Structure formats: C-alpha cells, structure tokens
Structure 1
Amino acid sequence: MTWFVAAVRRYPIVAITVVVGLVGLGLAATGNGAVAQWVISAFALIVAAMQAWSMVRRLMRGQFGLDVLAVIAIVSTVIVGEYWASLIIVLMISGGEALEDYAAGRAERDLRSLFDRAPVRAHRYTASGGIEDVPVDEVAVGDRLLLRPSEIVPVDAVLEGREASLDESSLTGEGMPVDKVRGDQLWSGSVNGSGAVDIRATTLASASQYQLIVKLVAEASASKAPMVRLADRYSIPFTIIALVIGAIAWAISGDPVRFAEVLVVATPCPLLLAAPIAFMAGMSRSSKSGVVVKGASALEQLAAARTVAFDKTGTLTNGVPEVVALYPEPGFGPDFGPDELLGVVASAEQYSSHVLAAALRQAATDRGIALREASRAGEVATHGVEATIDGREIIVGKPSFVADRATGVQRRTLASGEAAVYVALDGRFAGTVVLRDEMREEAPATLERLRRSGIRHVILLTGDVEQTARPIAERLGIDDVHAECLPQDKVELVRSARPRPVIMVGDGVNDAPVLAVADVGIALGARGSTAASESADVVILVDDVSRVADAVEIGHRTVHIALQSIWLGIAISVALMLTAAFGWLPAIVGAALQEVVDLITILNALRALLPGRTVALRKTTMRRPVGDAVV
C-alpha cells in the first residue's frame, strides 16, 4: 500500500486522470453522458492548457518539442466530441512521462548505488588502544583503523594485517576477490572479506578512490548529450508531417473527426525522450566495466571517433621494466645459474632507489628467491650499487661503472627498447640482466577491436627516443610514431590529427594537457584525484587498456540504440497516422495504440543497459615476435 501512495504522490496527473475516467464511466452508466462529457472535456482542456504553458516556456528557451501536437490533439478531440479519446491522450502524456521517469530510474540504478554505498563512518584506534567510531571525513592521514568483516574500506589505506581478501567489483567491475598482504594498497569502496584487519589511512576521505568515483558519476548523470538536442530537431518535421496528413485527411473526407484521429496517433511525447534514456543506460553499462564516462556527449564522440592517439609508457606498455633475460657468466661454474645471478643482483638492489631496482627485486620475489642482507651497501647516483653480502663484494650497475671495478666485463648487444644491468662478484664480471618495458598483453587485441569499431588512424605519442618507441609500434601495426615529445608537442599533434573526432589515451600528469584538448580524453588506470582524471572525459578505473575498446563499443551501441529508438517511434507513428487518415483507426483506439508505441521505444532504449556486439568493419591480425632469450 505504501508504494501505491508513493506512486500517486509522484505522478498526481496519472492518478487524477484515472479518477476522472472512473467518474466519467459512472456518470455514463447512470445515464448522465452529457455530464460525463463535460467533466472529461474540462479536465482534458486544463491539462492541454498546462501543456501549452510548458510549450511556451520551451519555445522561450529556443526549444521546440512535440507539446504542440499534444495540445492540438486534445483540443481537436474535445471539439469533435471524442472526449474519451482526449482522456486517453492525457493518460498517454502523463503515463508516458511516468514510464520515462521509471525507465530513467532503472538506467540510473547502478550509478545511484555508488552514492548509497559511500562509506560514512570509520573505526579509529585511540591513543589508549581503544576504538572510537568517527565520521569518515574526520579520518586523518596516518590514522590506524579497524576494518571489520564485510565492511567497506572507508578511505584509501595500506594493509597492516598479514593478509586480507577484498571485493573490488564496485571499483573495477571484476567479480573475483583480490588477495592482499601487509603493505598492499587498499582502495576506498572495496569490501573486506571474512576477517577483521587493521589498516592505516594514506589519503583523506575527500581525495580517496571511492569519493573520486562518486564525483565523476555526479558529473556524468548531470550531463545532457548533443544527441538529445539532435533528437529534439526531429520534432519540427514530424509536427509538420502530422499536421499535413491530418489536414489532407480532413479536406478529402470533409470530416473534422479525421483530423483529430490523425493527431491522436501523432502525439508521442516520450518518443524522442527515449534518447536520453539510452544515454543514461549506456553510462550505467560502462560503469559496470570500470569505465566512468563523465558526460553523455562523450559517448557520442566515442562512437564517431576515427583517430586514436596513445601515450606509450604505462598505456600501451606496462609502465615498469620487467626482467626478460638473464645471462650468467659461464666462468662462475654450473652452480651459478640464472636464479643465482638474479638473487645476487636483487639483494644488492635493495639499497637502490633506481626505477630498475624495483623491477629486479620484483623479479626475484616472483621466482621465490630470498633476498639477503648486506653488511655494507651504498649507491652511486645514476651509476649503480656497491654492496658486501655474505662476505662477497658485489657491483651492480652500468657497464662503465662495473668495468672500472672489475675485470672481464663483456658488453651485450641489446635490442631496441631494452636496458641491461651488469654484475660483478669479487672483482670479476658475473653476468648481465636484461630488462624491457613490455608491451601490455591486451594491447594488440585492443587495437584490433578499435579498428573493427571504425578507428582508421592510430598514433603513438611518447617522450621516449625513437629506438625505444619504434619496436612497440611495429608489433602493434602503428605507422604514425612521434618520439621525444614534450607535453606541448602532444597537444599540437592531437590538435592537427585527422580524421576527427580524436581520442587521446594517457595515464600520467604530463598527459593532462593533451587529454583536455582531445575530442575525447581517456585517463587509464586513474587512482585518486589526479590531473589526468580531472582533464579527461572518460576515466578508466582499472589498469587495463582493453577497457578503451570497451568504451568505444559501448558508445557505438548507445548511439545506435538512441537513433533506433527515435526512428522506430517515428516510423510506427507515421504508419498509424496514414491508417487513421483513411478512417480505419477510431480516435479512442489510436490513442491506446500510441501509448503502446511510447512504451516500445522506451523499452528499446533500455537495451543500452545490456551487453551487445559491435559490427566488425575490418579485421586486422597482429603478431607479436618472441625473443630468443630464456628468462
């Protein structure tokens, strides 16, 4: 009963229309048909006056819609005595608005759930060791918090407990739990598993990951797409066609009722409003894939895009170097194999802050190699590390640095894009570790999908040198490569790129300017309130470049469904108008059928919530060469 009262309060015109209809039926049944006609006609004319006032306000804002047809249809049916048809038109208008509101609410459900799940309180440890519940906005960086089973992580934090399992589906769209160990980053909005753990806040609530998503969603839901305004333009020719068909039918038949019958089926007020429902559904669909589209207009631009420009490092590549080959020096004997070489290097690199040091340590950890402590260690900036471990002198670094301190150093010929770390033990050359910033595994398939979606021109923009960028471009089939680019160079290249629209995909702060000038800027793997995510039109919350293709495909499907909904409603309405023009469709029947048309178009627009296929334009096959080194 509560839902019924709420529905009446939310849609009062629908409720009043139903009541007037029941009163009219009661009057007609008791022989008071004239009174019934008066009551229904008066109510219909009041609603027509309200619609007319709405139409005037729209015209004052420079917007022309289908209100004029609704008003003419109501007035004409009242004049010719088809008062029951006028009541059905009123029910169609108010009911169509209610259906549209319900459909839009269905499309926004996933977006609204983000707001509903926003963390509001946190359990903070006090100085005495107790626990106090505080509003999440009062959590400071460094505060130690208790995260209970199945609770939402209130702010970005690091895990202080030994291990935990979290559900990050609300952030990334991935349904599988993610295992974390001590020191791992936890993102606000993820859900703890079955065990209570301690965490330490690293970010204020206002700048945490979940609050960023809520902010982006708010921007997205408040936007209006150019496609919606484009749909409004269909109302002018549609109105003219309806009035012409009605006038011709009246002139040929000599019966003004025929004019009213035509206009009854030409009042699809929610018809062209199916477009914004489709766009809201498309944005909701993209959010399920970990892609937040800030504005509905971005979906239309994604669908129309013909050029995409990629930053290289961190976008088409992993952004961090990986060990790709280990070459131990044979002179150290059969017991000194690849694992021994990597263990020596990684142990020494514990005392280095160089970007390659982290990659070497990670490679050893991945192989299960235990790192040993040094009794003495020191880093020579930009050159290498010297350390004493288990009584052995270890030198790790550039070839010239190692050669000055050891004998027998053999320089290795490297492929483009590779870097090498040289190693010496007790004054003798011990081997070489080769690293490379590897191309993302999903990159080739992503570009293939983009080309099938209509992308005709792919550009690679990077600050790296040509010899580093070219191998990546060749593996991906990219011919247009611009190396050693400064941020301003990228801006000029994207501005001049053709054909348009142009998508730019980047991940760093230095990409913020070019993301802002592109027709569609996509920030990849955005974590926190970064300059890149602020400048971009689309923010991908997970570190997965394939979501770029997801976004483009969702854009295609959304625009296709929006246009399909517009034309479907127009086509059915025109067919019904022609049928009515010949006198085969009584006004009351036509009014009921028009309600069905509106329902069909709205339901069709909601299909944008569902996954679908993208039509392949052409297929491109790319092969990735395999190196000969054994890792």
Structure 2
Amino acid sequence: MSKILGFAKKVPMLWVVLVCGLVMGLLWHPYRQAAQWLVAVLVAVSLVDTLKGMIDDVRQGHVGVDILAVVAILSTLAVQQYWASWAVVLMLYSGDAIEQYAGNKAQNNLTVLVQAAPQVAHVVQAELPEGEHVLPKESDWNTVDVDKVRLNDLLVVKPGETVPVDGELISPTATLDMSTINGEPMPRRLYQDAQVMSGAVNGSGTFLMRARQLARDSQYQRILNLVRSAQNSRAAVVRTADLMAVPFTVVAFIIACVAWIISGVPTRFAQVLVLATPCPLLIAAPVAYMAGTGRLAKAGLLIKTQDVIENLGRVSHIFFDKTGTLTVKRPQVAKIDLPDGGKRKVDTDRILAMAGAVESYSVHILANGIAEAGAAAQERLRAQGKGETHLHAREVQEDSGNGVQGQVDGHRVKVGRAQFVADGHSSGLFGPLAPDEMASYVSIDGVLAARVVMKDVPRSDAAQTITQLRELGITRLSMVTGDKEDSARIIADQVGITDVHAGLFPEDKADLIAKASREEPNRQPFWDIWLSKFLGESVTKSITLMVGDGVNDAPVLAAADVGMAITDGTTTAASESAQAVIMNDDIACLPRSITIARRTKRVMLQAVMLGLTLATVGMLCAAFDLIPVVVGAFTQEAIDVVSILWALTALIDRD
C-alpha cells in the first residue's frame, strides 16, 4: 500500500484522469453533456500542464515536441470523440509514469551509490590523554552533519556506520567493508595510522579516527561527483535523437493532413495523430544510455558523461601505462638477499617486518610494496608464535631520495639506498640485479641486514584482458611508459603486447596518442558506421583510450578520447583529467565495459527503430481507417511501452 501511495504522489494527474474516466462512465448515459464538459475541463488542465512541460524542456536544452499530443487532444475533442480525448490524456500521463519507472529502473545502480553517502559524524569534544586508545563515552561526543566536520577532528565510528570523511586510524585496528567504494568483497583489516576512506563501512568494533579531509574533499564525494555528472549528462546520440523527433513530428502531420484531405473526413486527422509518438526518441534513447551507465557502475566503472559510452563502443586503439596498470599497483618483494650469501642464520621475516613498519610512513614508489610484504611477514611471525603485537615505527624520518629510518621494537632501522643505510659499503656484497629488478637495502642498528629485491609483476588477469580486447576486434594495443626498454619489454611479453614505447615523458605520451587519433579506425560495429553516416559524423577517426593509474598520467589521460584511471578506491585517481574511473582496481573491467557500451548503443538503436517503425505503420493504418481513434490512442501507448521496455533490456547482463 505504501508503494502505491508513493507512486500516486509522483504522478497525481494519472489518478485524477482515472477517476474522471470512472465518473464519465457513470454519467455518460443519463448525463452525457455533463460527461462531455468534464472531458473538456480535463483537456484544458492537461493542455496547460503539457505546455508548461514543453517550456521546461526547451529551457533545459531539450526539444519540446509534445505538440503532437496537444494537437491530438484538441483534434479528438473537435471531432467530438470525447472518449478518445480522455484516452489520449490518459496515455499522456501514463506515459509520464512509465518514463519515471524506466528512469528509476535505469538509474538504480547509480542511486544506490548516492544513497550510501555518509550523512553524519560523531565528533569527540572531550580531550583524551596522549596516546590513549580507550574509546570515549557516548557523552563525550556530539553527532553532527558530515559537512560540519573540521580538519583534525577526532571522530568515533560505530559498528555498521559509514566512515564520514577521509582520515587516519587512531585505534590499534579496524575492519572495514570497502565494497561501496571499490566492490572489494572481503573486509579489509587496517592498523593504527592507516588511511581510512569515506564511504567504507565499519564492520566490527567501534574505532577512533582523525579527520584529514573535509567532507567535500573526501574520496566518496569524488565518487558522488562522478555519479551526478553522469546522471545529468546526455550523450551526443541522445541529443541527436531529440532533434530527430522534430522531422518525425513533421512527417506525422503530413500523413494526418493527407489522410484528411483525401478522405474528406476530419476524424481521419485525429486518428493518425493519436498514433504519432516520438517517445522512442525522447524516452527510449536516454533510458537505454542511463541503463548502460548504471551497468557500468555495477561493473566497477564510473563515467563522467554519457558520451564516454559512445566513445567506449568505438575504441580502436588502447594505450596502457605499465606500472600500476598492466602491473600490480606497486613493485612486489621478489626475494631477500643476505650480505653473507645466506650462510648466517637470520630470520628474514623479522627483517622484513621491521623494514615494513618503517616503510609504511614513506611515500617512495617502493615503500608500499615493502610495507605490504612486511605486514604479511609479521602475520607469519604471529602464526609461528614469534610475534605478539603489531610492530609500530616511531621517530620516523625520511630523507627524500635516499630512504627512511625509525625506531622499531627498540632498534634503529634504516631502509633505502646503499649509501644511506650503510655508508655505501654494501653494494659490492650482493650480485647484480636483473633488468626488471630494483632494490632497497636494510640496516639494523647500523649493521647491513639485507637487500630487498623487488620487481614489477603483471596483474594476474592482464594477459587475459589483452586477449579479450583482441577478441572484441581491438588489435591496436600499445604500452607507453617512462621505464627502461628492457624492463618494459619483459612486462609487455608477459601480457601479450608487442607495440612498446619506453623511456617517454608525459608530453611524449600525449603526442603519441594525438598522432594515433588521426589513424584510420581498424574496426567499428556496423550500427555505429550506419548511424555516423546518417548523422554526418566522420567514421574515419580512430578513437583512442588511455588507461593509467591516475597518479602521474593526468596530461596523458586528457590527451586521449577516453582517459580511464584505474584505482582501488583508496587513491585520488578520480581526477579531473579522467573521463572514466575503474573503482575496483580490476583491469578486467576494461573489455567488459567496452562490451556493455556496445550493447547499450545497440539496444538504444533497436528500441528507437522498433518504436518509430511501429508508430509509422500505425499511422498509415489509421490513415486508411483501419484503426479507430480510441483504439489508436491505446495502441500508441502500447508502442511506447514496447520501445521503453526494450530500452531497459540494456540492464540485462547477456554478455
């Protein structure tokens, strides 16, 4: 009942029309003139409402072609087809209801993201003792709107609540559900001083955090900005569909006038117009694209505008950054070398755990890989009963370009270049590195302890992704990187890319992409070629796509027709330079997104052509008096329903 009442509030005029129809049925035989006057009043109200809607459409940049409905209502009234007038008004408002339903259905995946936005925060007012992690009492904090959180506020997040802003974990540990941000199915366990992102859901105990960003600058707000941008945009093909509704309206009037002139029967004019419906253009096209936008969001790809769907379906040349895109986000620890060749028994897990504790504070490219390996090493130590607590570094100092040092469990630990950790006397104690390897050195209390060897590792599904792209007909696949040729070739061979451009600066990458955009496209879907020719667009331009991690690829992402940033939801890759953002750090999302984009456009064209064909056939039948005017009004609504429901099939996962 509540759903029915809610729907009634959204389309109140539909219920008014239905009630009027019931009253007309009761009055028709004993008081026919009163029923006719009721229809006239209903028509007058609906005309005012429709004209207001047309004006609003024009103000919003859409084509207002409800003139067909206006003339159809007036013409049926003029030829005294009162029930037909009522039927047209009924179809007018039921069409609005169908449009609302279709729009809500198409936007469902995007709406879920918006509704999950943080709303409130618990700000601690009382001063806590230095270093104390005992949670304050509920009387010690105030619940405020998330927009009122200030930088460095101490916040309490209770179980099941959403992290309100980006910040830093104060409590020893926390378990967070990141699925809303990046689709990650398993909860993530974080330790003290770790970064916590807005939009994550607290999955276990209450924890304390320190606000490091305002709500408007936090990660989830960036996600919402992308979602709202996509919701408010209209793809070029949808805007063109709006314009195509104008000639369709002209054709409808021509058919109606010719039918009237040849038959000499005014009713024939009304019969044709009640079947004239531009809804496949005005409603089905945007519904299909909004459905595609929602499907992309569900698959892990957020887009800024619906034009991205257009370009994704036409991509013919894809450029990949290497590090963080084709490879995992950061170099991984491959092995631990000991200075004496491993003759002396040393617990390498202990060394790695201590190095990881220090590196967790560093911003160096190798730091995260060592920090992750250190955390894993510490878990192994705990499992073996060799470690009881989480190692925590203190008095950390970073010497930019050289390394980082700090106190860990009472020892001075240094990690970085050889000359930094042991005065440069360590490099000769180890063998040479392979072309794709890099190293950091570790000293404990001034004594060289180990060399941590790291390398770029391809994503586990990178090779399969490249194969799938080729199966989609996209054979121009290139790697662009600032790395050395030898290192780049090793990764390229592993994932299956033959076109490698190494040693490039960002401007070199941008120039390369600009040149590629002038090439002939190697393949396009037949419907895209047909539509492009019909609309007068060029079909010779190659559509370029650049996939990068969004950290240092901003100018390159902007240079491509589609700039796609790939992130795990805990970085700021959703930047102004990228038109699309993979939020789940899954490169396999790329071929799936292209498939969804192609299907979206295909379904849109099918819905439009099906609706317009049925409407045209219906108008011709009405012109020959094969469809009565009242039947025509309901047939017109059936055509709308068919085309809109067909557009909604873009939501169905058939790929």
TM over 0.5: yes
Look up the match of 1:556.
598
| Partner residue, 2:487 | 468
- The residue aligned with 2:23 is 23
Find the aligned partners of 1:407 and 1:515 in 2 and give their Cα distance. Answer: 39
- Equivalent residue number for residue 68 of structure 1: 67
Of 222, 228, 239, 1:218 maps to: 228
Asked if 1:89 is matched to 2:88, the reply is yes
Of residues 608, 626, 630, the one that matches 1:584 is 626
1:145 aligns with 2:155: yes
Task: Select which of 207, 222, 238 maps to 1:228.
Answer: 238
Code of the aligned partner of 1:524: I
Question: What are the residue-to-residue correspondences of 1:200-349 with 2, within 5 Å?
Answer: 200-250=210-260, 253-269=263-279, 272-325=282-335, 333=343, 336=345, 340=347, 344=351
2:547 alignment counterpart: 505
Count residues with an aligned counterpart.
606
1:492 maps to 2:508: no
Cα 1:424–1:128 shift into 2, 3 Å: closer
1:447 pairs with 2:466 = yes
Contact conserved, 2:355 with 2:374, CA < 8 A, in 1?
A: no
CA distance in 2, matches of 1:453, 1:259: 49
Offset at residue 96 of structure 1 (A): 0.4
Q: Is 2:365 the counterpart of 1:366?
A: no
Q: How far apart in 1 are the matches of 2:185 and 2:416?
A: 42
CA contact (8 A) 1:396 1:402 kept: no
Structure 2 Cα separation of the partners of residues 410 and 109 of structure 1: 58
Unmatched segments (≥5 aa) in structure 2: 129-135, 522-541
Distance 1:123 1:53, change over 3 A: closer
**Is 2:455 aligned against 1:436?**
yes
Contact 2:150 2:211 in 1 (8 A): yes
Would the alpha carbon gap of residues 259 and 522 (structure 1) be closer, same or farther in structure 2, given more than 3 Å must change?
A: same
How many angstroms does 1:431 deviate by? 8.3
Change (3 A) 1:289 1:173: farther
Structure 1 counterpart of 2:217, which letter?
A
Counterpart residue number, 2:525: none
1:540-598, Cα deviation, whole Å (9 max, x unpaired): 22322223334333322322222222122112222323333343321111211211221
Aligned residues: CA RMSD: 4.2
Q: CA deviation at 1:100?
A: 0.7
Mapping 1:379-458, distance limit 5 Å: 405=425, 409=429, 411-412=431-432, 414=434, 416-420=435-439, 434-458=453-477
- Whole-angstrom CA distance in 2 between matches of 1:526 and 1:448: 23
Work out which of the residue numbers 566, 576, 582 in structure 2 matches 1:524. Answer: 566
Q: Does the 8 Å CA contact 2:328/2:457 hold for their aligned counterparts?
A: yes
* Shift of residue 384, structure 1, vs aligned partner: 8.1
Q: 1:411 to 1:395 in 2, by over 3 A?
A: farther
Match of 1:133 among 122, 135, 142: 142
Query: Within 2, Cα distance between the matches of 1:474 and 1:269?
Result: 51
CA contact (8 A) 2:156 2:206 kept: yes
Residue 224 to residue 149, structure 1, CA distance change in 2 (3 Å) = same
- One-letter amino acid matched to 1:586: P
Q: How far apart, CA to CA, are the structure 2 residues paired with 1:407 and 1:107?
A: 60
Choose 233-242 or 384-393, whichever is displaced more. Answer: 384-393
Secondary structure, counterpart of 1:154 in structure 2: coil
Unaligned 5+ segments in structure 1 are 614-631
Measured after TM superposition, the shift of residue 192 of structure 1 is 1.3
Counterpart residue identity of residue 608, structure 2: I
Aligned to 2:167: 157
Q: Structure 1 CA distance, aligned partners of 2:222 and 2:310?
A: 23
| Alignment counterpart, residue 641 of structure 2, candidates 599, 602, 605 | 599
Q: What does residue 118 of structure 1 align with?
A: 117
8 Å CA contact 1:505–1:523 kept in 2: the answer is yes
Question: What is the alpha-carbon distance in structure 1 between the residues aligned to residue 611 and residue 586 of structure 2?
Answer: 38
Say if 1:326 and 1:342, in contact at 8 Å, map to a contact too.
no
Q: Secondary structure at the match of 2:507?
A: helix
Instruction: Give the TM-score of the pair, scaled to structure 2.
Output: 0.79
What is the rounded CA distance, in whole Å, between the counterparts of 1:391 and 1:43 in structure 2? 86
Deviation at 1:92, TM superposition (A): 1.0
One-letter identity of the residue aligned with 1:182: Q
For 1:379 and 1:120, the matched residues in 2 are separated by 37
Counterpart code for 1:100: E
TM-aligned CA distance change 1:137 to 1:424, over 3 Å = closer
How far has the Cα of 1:74 moved from its partner? 2.4
State the alpha-carbon separation in 2 of the partners of residues 318 and 393 from structure 1. 27
Q: Distance in 2 between matches of 1:340 and 1:586?
A: 90
Contact 1:405 1:427 in 2 (8 A): no
Q: Distance in 1 between matches of 2:4 and 2:551?
A: 52
Please state if 1:535 is matched with 2:577: yes
Aligned with 2:482: secondary structure?
A: coil
Judging changes above 3 Å, is the alpha-carbon distance between structure 1 residues 79 and 195 closer, same or farther for their aligned structure 2 residues?
A: same
- Provide the rounded CA distance (Å) in 2 between the counterparts of 1:610 and 1:38: 46
Q: Distance in 1 between matches of 2:60 and 2:295?
A: 32
Q: Residue type of the partner of 2:455?
A: R
- Whether the 8 Å CA contact 2:436–2:487 is kept in 1: the answer is yes
- Matched residues in 2 for 1:269 and 1:418: separation? 60
Cα separation, partners in 2 of 1:223 and 1:401, compared to 1, 3 Å: closer
What secondary structure is seen at the aligned counterpart in 2 of 1:272? helix
Task: Calculate the TM-score normalised by the size of structure 1.
Answer: 0.82
Looking at structure 1, the residues matched to 200 and 463 of structure 2 have their Cα atoms a distance apart, in angstroms, of: 30
In 2, distance between residues paired with 1:205 and 1:225? Answer: 30
Q: 2:133 aligns to what?
A: none
Write the letter of the residue equivalent to 1:86: S
CA distance in 2, matches of 1:406, 1:197: 43
* Mapped pair 1:193 → 2:212: no
Alignment pair present for 1:106 and 2:125: no
Deviation at 1:532, TM superposition (A): 5.5
